[in-house]
Each structure stands twice: as C-alpha cells, then as structure tokens.
Amino acid sequence: MPPAVAPLGARDRRLLRTELVVVFAVTLGLSGMRSLVSLLNALASPVALDQRTTAIDQTLARNAWADLAAQLAGSFALVAWGALGLYLLVRAGSGPRDIGLDGRRPGRDALGAVGLTALIGIPGLGLYLAARALGLNTTVIPSLLDDHWWTVPVLIVSAIANAWAEEVLVVGYLLHGLRRLGVSENRALAISAVLRGSYHLYQGFGGGLGNLLMGLVFGRVWQRTGRLWPLVGAHALLDVVAFVGSALLRGVLPFLPA
C-alpha cells in the first residue's frame, strides 16, 4: 500500500497542478513535444526511418575547449532540472527521504540498481534491434563526440546527469505530486511512463515504446519500495555503458562511424 498523504485543500490542489504543468512545460514535457515534432518530421521525409541515424551526444563546437564547455553546460542544465524538482518538494514540506533519495540503505540500493540494469538493459537491446528490423526506429548512436582526453569523463557526467534529471522529475517529483493530488497509483504510473516515452520519440517508435516500458517498471518499483536511488543508479549504468561503449567502439561495430 502507498504511504498515506495529507489531503490538500482546493487552493493547494490548484497550485500543485499548476506547478506540475509549469515544471514539465519547461523541462521534459517540452522535450517530449520536440521529440514528437522530430518524429513527425522524420516520417514526412523520403528517407525511411530505419535508414536514418540519431546521435544522443555529439560535438557542439569546433574548438575542443568550447565543446567541453558546451557539453558540461548541457549536463549542468539536467542537474539543475532535477534539483528544481527536489527544491519544490522541500518547499512543499517533503524532502529527499520522502522520495527515497536518503542514505539509509546504500548497499541494498546499489544491488537494486544492478538488478534493474540487467532487467531493463537486455530486453531493451532486443526491443531496439527488433524495432530497427521492422523499420520502426532510427539507428541510435549514443555518442558522436570527437576523440579528446575529456571525452569519456564527459560522457560519464552526461549519463549521470540524464539519470538524475529523469528519475528525480519523472518518478520522484511527478509520482509524489500525483499521489498528493489523490491520483490512483495505476493512473499516475501511466502518466509518468507516457511522459518518459514521449521525450524519446526522436529515436523512433521503438525508442518511445522501450522507454515507456522502462517507465512502467521504474515507476512501479518506486511505488512499491519508495526508493529512488536504485532507479538513478540503474539509469546511469545503462547510459554509461551505451555512451562510453559507443565512443570506444567507433569503427568497430558496423553501425558506428569510424
């Protein structure tokens, strides 16, 4: 059973609904709209979806130092998004412990992260390959960064920043807020999962579906355990493997350029 939450008055309910809309309108909800537009644009193109490539991390500036600064700025923005959600929770009288971001059980949280990584990673790869074979997804290249001394560290920072922003906002902040509004657990889970899938639609239908399924699993784990660290850890591990592996194996795997 989910923990009991104090009922909100009519004014507080309106303010919380407005807050949720505004936060996601400037963060991952906006990313979802942009991803949908990107997918529609790809579908309107004469080039088939499975013949297109999508890069997640790519060079942002010609000068290496400027590129480093741009990469770190992007990761900083993601960290700030997650921090915004956490700050608003604290302002509302909640805190890190209420969404499972405390340090009470680091060992169990770490084991949970490893287990979730295996649970999501292996089937996720199979779904991606199946979607590409069916022409429903682009070829996703996690990293197209140029080879610099800072490439691998920056990719690790990017992976952690992505994991932090997505799990804090889409799971901890959103599901906690919907619970305070009295939304049923199943409906809240569906909202969170659809949002997660929406901002991955730029990869194609497979990317959207795969992340929607990931959202269902991650959201339910949080609803049952109240722990967010395993989700952040698993997401970071998945992205580190994808981002760093892509950078190190460029020219080795056939779909990664040399």
Average pLDDT, stretch 198-208? 94
Helix, strand, or coil (residue 47): coil
**Which residues are CB-contacts of 224 (< 8 A; sequence separation ≥ 6)?**
none
| pLDDT tens track for 231-253 | 999 999 999 998 887 776 665 55
Question: Is pLDDT at 159 greater than 70 in this prediction?
Answer: yes
Question: Is pLDDT at 9 greater than 80 in this prediction?
Answer: yes
Answer yes or no: are the C-beta atoms of 237 and 111 closer than 8 Å: no
Question: Is pLDDT at 67 greater than 70 in this prediction?
Answer: yes
Residue whose C-alpha is closest to residue 86's, from 10, 129, 27:
27
Mean pLDDT of the chain: 91
Beta bridge partners of 258: none
Using 50, 70 and 90 to split pLDDT, how confident is the model at 256?
Answer: low
Average pLDDT, stretch 202-209? 93
Query: What is the residue extent of each domain of the chain?
Result: 13-248
Beta bridge partners of 204: 137
pLDDT over 90 for what percent of the chain?
72
pTM score, whole prediction: 0.92
Using 50, 70 and 90 to split pLDDT, how confident is the model at 255?
Answer: low
Note the pLDDT of residue 80: 98
Least confident segment among 39-53, 81-95, 180-194, 224-238: 39-53
For residue 25, the tally of other CB atoms under 10 A from its CB is 11
Question: Which sign, positive or negative, has the C-alpha torsion 150, 152, 158, 163?
Answer: negative
Question: Is pLDDT at 3 greater than 60 in this prediction?
Answer: yes
Question: Is pLDDT at 1 greater than 80 in this prediction?
Answer: no
| pLDDT tens track for 99-115 | 999 999 999 999 999 99
Average pLDDT, stretch 167-183? 97
Note the pLDDT of residue 51: 87
Note the pLDDT of residue 253: 57
Q: Which two tokens stand for residue 172?
A: 């901890």
Please report, as a single letter, which amino acid is at residue 15: L
Question: Is pLDDT at 257 greater than 60 in this prediction?
Answer: no
d(CA 179, CA 182): 5
| pLDDT tens track for 110-154 | 999 999 999 999 888 888 888 888 888 888 888 888 889 999 999
Average pLDDT, stretch 11-19? 95
Note the pLDDT of residue 238: 95
How many angstroms separate the Cα of 59 from the Cα of each of 82, 113, 240?
A: 24, 30, 18
Give the ranges where the chain is alpha helix by DSSP (H): 10-25, 28-44, 64-91, 106-133, 151-166, 174-180, 185-198, 205-225, 229-248
Q: Which two tokens stand for residue 237?
A: 């591990």
Average pLDDT, stretch 156-166? 97
Average pLDDT, stretch 83-90? 97
Note the pLDDT of residue 213: 96
